[in-house]
Structure 1
Amino acid sequence: MSKFPCGLRRAIAALAAFCVLTTAAAAEERRLAVTPEVSLRVVDEGPRNGRPPVVLITGWGFTADIWRDQAQRLARTRRVVSFDPRSQGRSTVTAQGMTPAQRARDLDAVLTQLGLDKVHLVGWSQGVQDVAAYVDGFGTRKLAGVVLVDAAVSSGSGAVLRDPQAAAQTLRFLSIYAAQPEAYARGMLGAIISRPLDKAQTDRLAADIAAVPTAIGSAALVADLYGADLTPALKKLDRPTLIVASATSPELQAQRDEVTILPKGQIAIVENAAHTVFIDQPDRFAQILDRFLAETDATGAPG
């Protein structure tokens, strides 16, 4: 007869399983050269268990650490890769290639060097442009699914004519950023995050943004918003695609419209959240993402 009652045995088994998952999720940091001159800081964690990995792509000025909470959740059950884009965080600072197209090439280099195939790409803000540029340049062969978080895919310079007021506002913001990068960073954080952060978190995020040289950051932002027209990538995105949008997003209608273009698109709208929906509503975001990943994994992606 067993030494322990049945209920206790189940509890011990559950604890052991949790410990295995927690151990498997230990994060490994490395640097990967994506060009001869540029290397990226890459965070690689979670079990190699056959489930499609998730690759988290951050926004303008931020590092992989912005995803820390969500990455740790995901890494309990699957491999998760995140990284600092070129000129952000601890990756190489360079004035070259500050465009979605080059960051897409960087992304492909990361996927290739890590041997990643049939992955879920999750891009937020600037990361949405990078995912669109990746699909436009490399297709969907390596993808299992895509999640676009709270940004419409850029339509390029035509956006200036369609919304000149927004373009003028962007230029005003850039002049503030160039003159006072840290003040700009703190104001930006207050606008995109509605959940109260402690001083240490705010200081760290503001420092990440302000650390990017302003000429490089300005070039990246202009290229993101008014560079290449990336909307043709929407029709090429033949993998399951989820748009996660804040209910207060100024681009909400544009994101709704994208669902009608995507071959396999759907949208989830998050209430009581600003631009960083995964920080403002972390449990809700994780629930939405987990459901999408489970459904996509169950159906599988064509070869």
Structure 2
Amino acid sequence: MTKHSIPLRRKAIALGAAVLVALAAFPASAATGSPSATTRTVTNAEHDLVFHVVDGRSPALVLDAGGGLSSSYWKDLAPRLARTTGRKVITYDRAGEGRSDEISGPWRIESAVSDLEAGLRALSETRKVVLVSHSIAGEVATTFAAKNPGRVAGAVLVDANVPDFFSDEMLTAFAPVVEQQRADLLAQPSTKKNRQLLAVMADFAPTHRAYNKLAWPNTVPVTVIVTSGTPFDAPEAARLWRDAQARFAQAGPNRKHVVAENTTHEGIVTERPDVVAGAVEDVLKAVR
């Protein structure tokens, strides 16, 4: 196979932005007995970020949704995890998502990590945390963990972007898809959601070539959940995605690989919340 032969017809923009859907910010659950969340606005680098916190024990669980999604992606799972684990649960809107401010220019992983660090400081969450990260949020989790290995007790990557996937071969083959998606978005009305997706597409290849070189710290336990329905329609692209996830899971100690049957990249949290919750509970057992 040549580097240009990978078929890349896409369901959505999973690599840089999981779905072209944005939801309202995470509300406290109305379910009987569900813990309620308090909302905090945190300022970092002259923009505001919205965080939601359900109080509980440490280590706190930090839930981070994919591109184009707000903190409400976790609206059912967050209170469930708070209730069943007794842990503090933090969800938040990254810059440009949900109720958080937009920032100008291309999306930068380092800026997203800085925002998360600022949020945790403002919440006085200086101890170790467990990261639960979906899709593009896997890039934030990996960069955060590589930079702050002593701050991460463990992680669950939910069909997340792992460094192994972004080879030169894949990025070269994916370039025309990014351009087509960009053209499609530019032809649509300018909305906060679309502007954020366009920011992710800007400098996509150089950003992800750099990300490809990152390594997950071997001291931090991580469970990799892979959905049975990948972000791709094309069988070869789907295989490359699955293979990258498996390689990542096998590349170091304290790593687990879980395949969530009958799930999609976008919908796993609502389709199989038990799988995600189970992985979180397993990681918590490992860090006690």
Match of 1:123 in 2: 133
> In the alignment, what sits opposite 2:198?
218
**Distance between the aligned counterparts of 1:267 and 1:155, measured in 2?**
15
SS in 1 for 2:87: coil
8 Å Cα contact 1:126/1:224 also seen in 2: no
Superposition deviation, residue 225 in structure 1:
5.8
User: Is this contact kept in 2: 1:140–1:237, CA < 8 A?
Assistant: no
Instruction: Name the structure where helix makes up a greater proportion of residues.
Output: 1
Structure with a larger share of its residues in strand:
2
Whose relative contact order is higher, 1 or 2, with alpha carbons under 8 Å and at least 6 apart?
A: 2
Rate the CA distance shift 1:280–1:134 in 2: closer, same or farther, 3 A: same
Match of 1:22 in 2: 33
Instruction: Show the counterpart of 2:234.
Output: none
**Structure 2 CA distance for partners of 1:118 and 1:22, relative to 1, 3 Å:** farther
Alpha-carbon spacing, 1:230–1:262, altered in 2? closer, same or farther (3 Å): farther
Quote the RMSD (CA, aligned, Å).
2.5
Aligned partner of 1:238 in structure 2 is 219
Bigger mean CA deviation after superposition, 173-182 or 73-82: 173-182
1:84 Cα deviation after fit: 0.7
Secondary structure of the 2:132 match is strand
How far apart, in 2, do the equivalents of 1:32 and 1:53 lie? 18
Aligned residues: 244
TM, length-normalised to structure 2: 0.76
| Secondary structure at 2:53 match in 1 | strand
C-alpha distance 296-212 of structure 1, shift in aligned 2 (>3 A): closer
CA-to-aligned-CA distance 1:6-65 (integer Å, 9 cap, x gap): xxxxxxxxxxxxxxx936x11111201122x111011111x42x3421101111122101
Correspondences of 1:52-63 after superposition (within 5 Å): 52-63=59-70
| TM-score, scaled to structure 1 | 0.72
User: How far did 1:109 drift?
Assistant: 1.0
Instruction: Give the whole-Å Cα distance in 2 for the aligned partners of 1:255 and 1:80.
Output: 26
Partner in structure 2 of residue 73 of structure 1: 80
| Counterparts of 1:155 and 1:39, CA distance in 2 | 32
Q: How high is the sequence identity, in percent, across the aligned residues?
A: 22
The runs of 5 or more residues in structure 2 that have no matched partner are 1-31, 231-237
Taking the TM superposition and a 5 Å limit, the aligned residue runs for 1:1-303 are 22=33, 25-35=35-45, 37-45=46-54, 47-48=55-56, 50-76=57-83, 77-96=86-105, 98-116=107-125, 117-136=127-146, 138-154=147-163, 159-180=167-188, 210-212=191-193, 214=195, 216-223=196-203, 226-228=206-208, 229-249=210-230, 250=238, 251-281=241-271, 284=272, 286-300=273-287
Matched residue type, 1:221:
M
Q: Contact 1:60 / 1:221 at 8 angstroms: preserved in 2? A: no
- Report the structure number with the largest CA radius of gyration: 1
